């Protein structure tokens, strides 16, 4: 009886122990799985705690439309960038620019004063290559203004100083040669223009002015190829006609203008020049006939530089003197000058 009870008790206790073992095993598995899940989620991090970097400032645009301003936000502002004081370079070029404006308006005295102030500013700049270039420019512009005022001796002095500072600048050679040309110093002008042409073989002004100089010296055959080299034969004949008219050789000038029109019938410059020469000859004929009250037909006066050429040609050139009362040069000058 007791044995049967103990057997029954053992039978009831056995299953309960097995259930406990299975429960412990199941809990162990759940704990392991939970640990793995937590470790994986800890590495990924919760979505709400994701860190974001601050956006970088926008880069300045490479290409801008007209009227827009680029501001580089990545560059620190320099409080010393604005300078209230004018630098010597700025002072020099402001005076040069003002001088050019006055010169274009025909106010050569005011232009000369500005160029002289630019030269004075160069002297305070110090020693260096840029000073030499600026000083040479100031001397050259002073020479230009003095040429316009007819003060050739002073102009020559400034051209020589400019060439000493910048001997390889073809503009100085051109302007110095043109000064000699205005004085009728054909040999000096030819030498100077050729020196400049060796530095700048393709310079149009140098070649044209050399051609005008040769023509003024009576060497028209040598002059014509130079006058025609860049603008064509028609313009070359027209330029040569201009110079012949300016020195009083009216018939030779007429032939050159006619040749220019034969090559280019639409060349208005040559046609107007011929008409002007015809009016001049008519006025001369009226004056020679002794008619009272005869007035010159030509009312448009030549430029100051043309009058200077005309005056120089009467005293220094081998070309016959101009008949100043009637043989005025055409109003359209050739390509020459500073």
Mind listing the pLDDT tens digit for each residue in 255-274?
999 999 999 999 998 999 99
Q: With contact defined as beta carbons under 8 Å apart, do 298 and 329 qualify?
A: no
Task: Identify the pLDDT of residue 294.
Answer: 34
3-state SS, residue 139: helix
pLDDT digits (tens, 9 = 90+) for 114-162: 999 999 998 876 655 667 899 999 999 999 999 999 999 999 999 999 9
4-8, 204-208, 210-214: least confident range? 4-8
Six-digit token string for 305: 């530089």
CA dist 122 and 150 (Å) reads: 26
CA dist 178 and 6 (Å) reads: 144
The reply to whether the predicted model has a pTM over 0.85 is no
pLDDT digits (tens, 9 = 90+) for 309-320: 334 333 333 333
Q: With contact defined as beta carbons under 8 Å apart, do 140 and 175 qualify?
A: yes
Task: Identify the pLDDT of residue 326.
Answer: 29
Domain with CATH 1.25.40.10 in the chain: 86-167
For the domain spanning 86-167, the CATH number is 1.25.40.10
Straight-line distance from the first to the last Cα atom of the chain, in angstroms, rounded to the nearest whole number: 146
Share the mean pLDDT of the chain.
Answer: 73
CA dist 53 and 58 (Å) reads: 15
CA-based nearest residue to 135, from 108, 166, 109, 105: 166
């Amino acid at each position: 009886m007791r044995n049967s009870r103990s057997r029954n008790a053992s039978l009831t206790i056995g299953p309960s122990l097995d259930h406990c073992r299975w429960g412990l095993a199941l809990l162990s598995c759940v704990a392991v799985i939970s640990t793995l899940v937590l470790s994986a989620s800890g590495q990924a991090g919760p979505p709400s705690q994701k860190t974001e970097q601050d956006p970088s400032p926008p880069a300045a645009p490479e290409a801008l439309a007209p009227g827009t301003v680029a501001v580089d936000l990545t560059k620190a502002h320099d409080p010393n960038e604005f300078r209230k004081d004018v630098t010597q370079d700025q002072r020099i070029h402001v005076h040069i620019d003002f001088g050019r404006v006055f010169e274009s308006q025909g106010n050569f005295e005011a232009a000369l004063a500005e160029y002289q102030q630019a030269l004075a500013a160069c002297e305070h700049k110090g020693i260096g290559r840029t000073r030499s270039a600026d000083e040479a420019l100031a001397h050259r512009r002073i020479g230009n203004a003095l040429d316009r005022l007819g003060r050739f001796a002073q102009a020559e002095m400034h051209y020589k100083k400019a060439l000493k500072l910048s001997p390889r600048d073809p503009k100085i050679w051109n302007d110095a040669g043109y000064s000699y040309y205005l004085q009728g110093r054909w040999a000096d002008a030819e030498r100077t223009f050729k020196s400049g042409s060796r530095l700048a073989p393709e310079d149009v002004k140098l070649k044209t002015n050399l051609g005008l100089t040769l023509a003024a010296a009576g060497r028209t055959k040598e002059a014509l190829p130079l006058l025609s080299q860049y603008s064509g034969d028609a313009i070359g004949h027209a330029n040569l006609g201009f110079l012949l008219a300016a020195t009083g050789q009216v018939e030779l000038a007429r032939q050159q203008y006619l040749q220019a029109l034969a090559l280019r019938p639409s060349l208005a410059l040559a046609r107007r020049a011929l008409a002007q020469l015809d009016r001049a000859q008519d006025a001369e004929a009226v004056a020679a006939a002794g008619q009272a009250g005869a007035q010159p037909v030509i009312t448009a006066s030549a430029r100051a530089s043309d009058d200077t050429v005309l005056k120089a040609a009467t005293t220094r050139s081998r070309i016959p003197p101009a008949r100043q009362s009637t043989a005025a040069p055409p109003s359209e000058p050739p390509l020459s000058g500073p």
